[in-house]
Amino acid sequence: MEVTAATASGSPAARADRWRHSLILVVTRRCDLRCAYCPTVKDGEPDLSADDARRAMALFVERYGGGDAKLFGGEPLLAPDAVRAAVRAAPTSVSVYLSTNGTHLDDRWIAWLVAHPSVTLTLSLDGHEADHDGLRRGGATYASLVAKLPKLLRLPRFVVTQTIAPSTAARAAANFRHLRSLGVQKFNLLPGYYLPWKPAQLAALEANFQAIGDDIEAAWARGEPLYLRNLFVRAPVAFYNTGFVVDSDRRIYANNLVLAGNLDHVRTRASLGTLDTPPTEAALEASAAAAPELLREVLGDALIAATADADAALTRLCNRLYPAYFAARERRTRRVAAAP
Ligand code: SF4
């Protein structure tokens, strides 16, 4: 599951450049679902071995000393040895994020997550059953995920990614409220990127972000815990993750945009080496800087413009929420200081 991606939303300056210190580990391209909005090529690629997962983590730590390590796919839980090896190899200076579609999250995985409380689990759950299952061509997963939620909500670090496709934009606020009614308190909102958004769908996205913003501000005013990851994430390319990207075939890139089917043919051009011949930091920087132009060249102006519009709506939501976020944080700090 790759869609826990950073967006180009604004963020506090302290975290603005965190993408530079990110390891994106594609442990497998395989996935048993076929989400309508998913661009990832899933077949015909190898999985990353446990040894290579450890090697990638060691290279990342050697180069950056720490940062965020994001375990992506495909569906990462289909490559359990690589996931466990990467987590075992991560020093405390590395924050590990594991994104999943949840289909393989059984009691053994949940027990493993309980034993590894520093790992942040990000689950893809889009809202009401009709919208969630309607976007998943590989099979309905809503009922099984909701059955697992009580256990997942007890994990110390658990975030739900609510993906908003053009077809569900008009119901995004209703889906957000539904997820809250299920007990979800930590969200990552993800508009579908590089999709042909129509003007009416963009208008619906904007209106629904306004409604979600109203809900969040009201919750914070009441002192309720509600976390929006988008406030703390910034990336130079919308949706795709920039950083030290290790694909499941051991090749290294500055951006995981090469996972997409319509960008598959630029893999050789974008590749910067392998785990045996890793690139310099300068090469990574140069390739990261070239990614927006590469996307424009391959995808065309219309999809780039639609993505920019959807991302701008998310950025407006974040910018609107920062004052309320800081005010709520200030109130919480004062309450803690005043407590006996
Ligand atoms: S769960 Fe959906 S979005 Fe994630 S990799 Fe599979 S098909 Fe793509």
Domains and their CATH numbers in the chain: 12-338 (3.20.20.70)
Question: What are the CA-CA distances from residue 329 to residues 67, 156, 190, 326, 338 (Å)?
Answer: 24, 20, 24, 5, 14
pLDDT in tens, 283-330: 998 998 888 888 888 888 888 899 889 999 999 999 999 999 999 999
* CA 220–ligand 1 middle distance (angstroms): 32
* CA 33–ligand 1 middle distance (angstroms): 6
* CA 55–ligand 1 middle distance (angstroms): 26
Atom of ligand 1 nearest to the CA of 75: 5
Tell me the pLDDT of the chain averaged across its residues.
Answer: 90
R_g (Cα) of the chain, nearest Å: 19
Ligand 1 close to Cβ of residue 77 (< 6 A): no
Task: Give 280's contacts (C-beta < 8 A, 6+ positions apart).
Answer: none
pLDDT in tens, 81-108: 999 999 999 999 999 999 999 999 999 9
* Residue-wise DSSP of 60-118: HHHHHSSEEEEEESS-GGGSHHHHHHHHHH--TTEEEEEEE-STT--HHHHHHHHH-TT
Q: What is the pLDDT of residue 60?
A: 94
DSSP state of 255: E
Of 132, 134, 182, which Cα lies nearest the Cα of 158? 182
Give the position of tokens 């993800």. 190
Of 76, 200, 181, which Cα lies nearest the Cα of 127? 181
Atom of ligand 1 nearest to the CA of 31: 6
Sheet holding 120-124, edge to edge: 227-228, 186-191, 158-164, 120-124, 94-100, 67-72, 22-26, 242-246, 252-255
Confidence of residue 12 (pLDDT cuts 50, 70, 90): very low
Ligand 1 close to Cβ of residue 26 (< 6 A): no
Residue among 40, 132, 133 whose CB has most ligand 1 atoms within 8 A, to mutate:
40
The mean pLDDT of 37-53, rounded to a whole number, is 90
* CA 154–ligand 1 middle distance (angstroms): 24
Contact 246, 275 (CB under 8 A): yes
Of 91, 92, 100, which Cα lies nearest the Cα of 27? 100
pLDDT at 4 over 50: no
pLDDT at 14 over 90: no
Q: What is the pLDDT of residue 68?
A: 93
Atom of ligand 1 nearest to the CA of 42: 5
Contact 220, 307 (CB under 8 A): no
Q: Enter the tokens of residue 215.
A: 């809900």
Task: Give 58's contacts (C-beta < 8 A, 6+ positions apart).
Answer: 89
Residue among 28, 30, 31, 133 whose CB has most ligand 1 atoms within 8 A, to mutate:
31
